[in-house]
Amino acid sequence: MDVREVEEFKRGHISGARNLPLSQLTAQSLNKNKKYLLICQSGMRSKKAYKILSKADYDVTNVSGGMLAWRGKIKK
């Protein structure tokens, strides 16, 4: 789950990532039966998303370092 804004996501993202900007994130918008890996540009917004979702009992992991630390392929 990429929590960056739509324009940031369009400039490049991990293949298969779903975009749900932090500014639009609500706990009700996700399925509690799934595990979510959260990523943003540097890890700060995904950390905020992690706090929101973990408090609502979602199975979430914050990808440390965000896209700046990602070494895999990026889809545009």
Catalytic sites, residue numbers: 40
Can you give the pTM of this predicted structure? 0.93
Interval 18-71: pLDDT, tens:
999 999 998 777 999 999 999 999 999 999 999 999 999 999 999 999 999 999
Dihedrals φ, ψ of 19, to 5°? -95, 120
Tell me how far apart the terminal alpha carbons of the chain are, to the nearest angstrom. Answer: 16
Question: Does the pLDDT of residue 16 top 80, yes or no?
Answer: yes
Q: Which two tokens stand for residue 25?
A: 């994130």
Show the domains of the chain with their CATH numbers.
Answer: 6-69 (3.40.250.10)
Detail the DSSP E strand segments found in 1-76: 35-38, 59-62
